[in-house]
Structure 1
Amino acid sequence: MSETHNHGGTGTTVEFWENFYQEREQVWSGSPNFLLVREVESAPAGTALDLGCAEGADAIWLAERGWRVTAVDVSETALGRAKARAAELGITGIEWQRHDLADSFPAGRFDLVTAQYLHSPVAQADEREKILRRAAEAVAPGGQLLIVGHAEWPSWVETPPHDVHFPSTAEVRAGLDLDPAEWTVEAEGLAEREHAGPEGQPGTRKDNVLRLRRR
């Protein structure tokens, strides 16, 4: 997302995500995203690009399984925590890079490009679509693009804290505008799982899963 653009008075993307991570010592659970594990666990290790790596759980999980990972986030705070966690576990094979993906993108092509929950309340309307198109360009021949995103707010959210559109897999595919002669859809659907609220209230969450392979 763009660090040079101001989004409706909410500050830049860098400012937003730095504040987001600095509010707490640890934001996420430290476990890899369930749908990444489900979709990638059986794939042979290769090179991977983790877009929006946050505190590093997905990148670390991939590296533990032999992947050579380039892990990217806009927040230096998140990257610092990710690096520290990897060092604590003795994990190597991860290159940590800071990118505002609306302005810069990691070089190279990868056997796996993963974008897990690449949502931002301060993004401009078309930024996510442009980033995902660039993500597709970064997939090597024979490689996979895995996009996981929320389908709606969790069931326990009665009043959403802000207005956001959660794109369907059909919308994501349309935005990617990929050549069907070059790409195959290997998995597409809706995944529902239990997801407790911040006060422990029971509930569920629905996510969209789209996994494509470049021929």
Structure 2
Amino acid sequence: MQAGDWDARYAERQQWSGEPNPLVASLVQDLPPGDAADVAAGEGRHALWLARLGWRATAVDFSATGLARGRAQAGADRVTWVTADVTGWSAPPGSLDLVLVAYLHLPDPPMTDLLRRAVGWLRPGGRFLLLGHDVDNLAHGVGGPQDPAILHSPRRLAPVAGLLDVDRLATVPRETPAGTALDTLLWGRRPSSPGASV
């Protein structure tokens, strides 16, 4: 989908809950606050939640309408809002403590290229979290995009995982009102050793 398509969706109604994804919350809530980027933030639910926890959060999305919904929320003044195509946007190298990519789906090579660059935005020890619809969801789950070329899997994320000290790379279930959906989770940190390269 293009920016105009997402603008139209966000103009119709709020697309997502105002609360963070429960798995995102469980992984991030106890981290010490720092600098974070919510990549493909949509309406900014994760950036707003991070800001409430004391993070200096930047929400980046190409939908001006989605970001406008986020800017209208309480606490929006504590978030930096950036309207940009995430495939062309960059944070300064080594400037972030957390990169969060939730439910961004692009074909390769743009997806892998973006994620590899995003690892480079992290400070040594900074956290990387990707959560998105898994390709196995097509046959064994519910909802989500139906194009296998844009869906994640642990195998497809292996080139990015190779740049991280990985805590978890797995297909994980997510309960929805329609049934069980399958997501891919990549949770890790940028290596602290001086010899590690991105």
Q: Taking structure 1 as the reference length, what is the TM-score of the superposition? A: 0.78
After TM superposition, list the pairs within 5 Å mapping 1:16-31 onto structure 2: 16-22=5-11, 24-31=12-19
Q: Residue in 2 aligned with 1:205?
A: 181
CA 1:132–1:63 in 2, change beyond 3 Å: closer, same or farther? same
RMSD value over aligned CA atoms?
A: 2.1
Q: Where in structure 2 are the equivalents of 1:38-77 lying within 5 Å?
A: 38-77=26-65
Q: Note closer, same or farther for the CA distance 1:176–1:133 as it changes in structure 2 (3 Å cut).
A: farther
Q: CA deviation at 1:83?
A: 0.5
Q: Does 1:104 align with 2:89?
A: yes
Moved more, 46-55 or 103-112: 103-112
SS in 1 for 2:80: strand
Counterpart secondary structure, 2:72: helix
Instruction: Give the equivalent residue in structure 2 for 1:149.
Output: 132
Asked whether the equivalents of residues 172 and 185 of structure 2 are also in contact (C-alpha less than 8 Å), the reply is: yes
CA-to-aligned-CA distance 1:31-74 (integer Å, 9 cap, x gap): 11112101111111111111011111111111111000011011
How far is the alpha carbon of 1:116 from its aligned partner?
Answer: 0.6
Deviation at 1:124, TM superposition (A): 4.6
Q: Which amino acid aligns with 1:133?
A: R
8 Å contact 1:136–1:176 — kept in the other structure? no
Structure 1 segments unaligned to the other structure (5+ residues) = 1-11, 198-202
Aligned counterpart, 1:33: 21
SS in 1 for 2:82: strand
Shift of 1:77: 0.1
* Residue 193 (structure 1) shift: 2.5
SS of the equivalent of 2:115 reads helix
Deviation string 1:132-172 (CA, Å, 9 cap, x unpaired) is: 11111111111111111111247345xx8742332212321
Tell me the secondary structure at the aligned position of residue 36 of structure 1.
Answer: helix
Specify the SS of the correspondent of 2:157. Answer: helix
CA distance in 2 between partners of 1:75 and 1:189 (Å): 29
What 5-or-longer segments of structure 2 have no aligned partner?
193-198
Cα offset for 1:114? 0.6
Matched, 1:192 2:166: no
TM-score, normalising length from structure 2? 0.84
**Partners of 1:132 and 1:176 within 8 A in 2:** no
**Following TM superposition, where does structure 1 have runs of at least 4 consecutive aligned residues deviating by more than 4 angstroms?**
none
Q: Percent identity?
A: 34
